[in-house]
Amino acid sequence: MEPIVLESGVTHPQTAWLITAVPIALAVAATLIVVVLLRARLIAALTGVAIRRAAVRRATLPTMLVPDEALIFNPPSVPPGRLLAICVAVALLLFLVGALVLPMFVALMLAGPLTALLVWVMVQYYEGRYVARLDRDLTAAMGRLSAALKGGNSYRQALDRLLSDMPAGPLREEWRFLIDRQGTPLLNVTGGGIATAQQVAAALAVQTPSPRHATMLNHLAVAVGQPQDVLAARVTAAYSALQASERRREEAVTELAQMRYSGMAVGLAGMVMALYLAVTQWDRVIVAYSGVLGAVVGSVVMSALLLPIIGGLLLARADDVDY
């Protein structure tokens, strides 16, 4: 029996990309199917991670400052559903980009640690945004609380009035905690007991991620147990100090703006040059950054381009919690 000889016209080089595209597409499809099927469990796992991170922060507190188990507050800085979507999107993007210049299995192995690193960065970003939104609303809310207390409202009545028309956000969630946990049976107190307004404010002060809000809550924990006129006077004094602190911080941010813009300009200029080289000499970029060593060098180059931007943003931050 004579062997079958295939002519060269049977093969089609223009479709050779399907050889690598099919396993990549299957890996992406399998990942999406697993995420859809296990979405509830993955969200529950991410929620548990957030709770454990908050517990680790509480474990660093002195024993006398650790709040009662009935007064535990976990700041909802990152919604678990959004965090899951970010994790999946980042993992797939890194895998697809890596598969263009690396073998598929190498790209798959590198996607895991790189995803963990980028997700950690995103979590820090969302936590910073949570604190920024809380601080942004704090001064105006303190002014309204001061006005309500001066008008003869009790502490609880004043908070109820504020929360009824306060827009959704971190400050509303944390101040809702101040009302909802009052009168809660305490779990760590021998012989029972219920949580007082002072205890709830002190517990939230050591758990909120905002230093400015923590300072205000410590003032409030001292003042809330005093007579109405003293409470109103102390809240008014805290509001005035907050305004002065806000002015000082805005002046400092204005003075540091040049540092921020310089860092962003240097970093963006480098990124534009790198993008231009990649577009005009793509074949050489593939050769230079293919392989494991090339991936390491590429990570170093990308870090060097991003560091001026990150440094400018970090060094231009200013805060003032002394009020």
pLDDT, tens digit, 9 for 90 and up, residues 79-102: 777 778 888 888 888 777 777 766
Distance CA 32, CA 25 (A): 11
pLDDT recorded at residue 94: 75
Q: Which residues pair with 194 in a beta bridge?
A: 185
Give the mean model confidence (pLDDT) for residues 27-56.
Answer: 78
* Cβ–Cβ < 8 Å for 160, 179: yes
pLDDT recorded at residue 316: 56
* Residue 199: pLDDT band with limits 50, 70, 90: confident
**CB neighbours of 313 closer than 8 A, spacing ≥ 6?**
260, 263, 264
Task: Measure CA of the first residue to CA of the last residue in the chain; give whole Å.
Answer: 96
Mean pLDDT: which of 53-67, 147-161, 264-278 is highest?
Answer: 147-161
Place of tokens 């009824």: 164
Which tokens sit at 161? 């009035």
Percent of the chain with pLDDT over 70: 81
* Residue 75: pLDDT band with limits 50, 70, 90: confident
Give the mean model confidence (pLDDT) for residues 269-283.
Answer: 79
Residue 257 has pLDDT above 70, yes or no: no
User: In sequence order, what DSSP letters do the residues of 66-79 get, joined into one string?
Assistant: PPPGGG------S-
* Residue 314: pLDDT band with limits 50, 70, 90: low
Place of tokens 């009662």: 68
* Residue 41: pLDDT band with limits 50, 70, 90: confident
pLDDT recorded at residue 2: 55
Helix runs in the chain, H state only: 17-37, 39-59, 80-101, 104-150, 155-165, 170-180, 197-205, 211-223, 228-255, 257-280, 282-289, 291-315
Q: Which residues pair with 185 in a beta bridge?
A: 194
Give the relative orientation of helices 211-223 and 197-205 as an angle to the nearest 10 degrees.
Answer: 160
Collapsing DSSP states into helix, strand and coil, what is residue 170?
Answer: helix
Using CB atoms within 10 Å of the CB of residue 26, give its burial: 0 to 12 exposed, 13 to 18 middle, 19+ buried. exposed
Which tokens sit at 231? 């409470």
Residue closest to 212 by CA, chosen among 164, 150, 266, 142? 142
Q: Which amino acid is located at 102 in the chain?
A: L
**Dihedral of CA 322/209/71/156: which sign?**
positive
Mean pLDDT: which of 201-210, 248-257, 307-316 is highest?
Answer: 201-210
Distance CA 178, CA 201 (A): 6
pLDDT recorded at residue 157: 87
Give the mean model confidence (pLDDT) for residues 163-179.
Answer: 87
Compute the C-alpha angle 78/82/88, nearest 5°. 125
* Cβ–Cβ < 8 Å for 144, 162: yes
Distance CA 124, CA 111 (A): 20
Place of tokens 């991410």: 46
Instruction: Compute the mean pLDDT over every residue in the chain, rounded to the nearest whole number.
Output: 77
pLDDT recorded at residue 292: 67
Name the more confident of 60 and 238.
Answer: 238
pLDDT recorded at residue 258: 67
Per-domain boundaries in the chain: 17-255, 256-323
Give the mean model confidence (pLDDT) for residues 244-253.
Answer: 72
* Residue 256: pLDDT band with limits 50, 70, 90: low
pLDDT recorded at residue 181: 87
In angstroms, what is the C-alpha Rg of the chain? Answer: 28
> 47-73 burial, b if ≥16 CB within 10 A, otherwise e?
beebeeebeeeeeeeeeeeebbebbbb
Percent of the chain with pLDDT over 90: 0
Give the mean model confidence (pLDDT) for residues 185-191.
Answer: 68
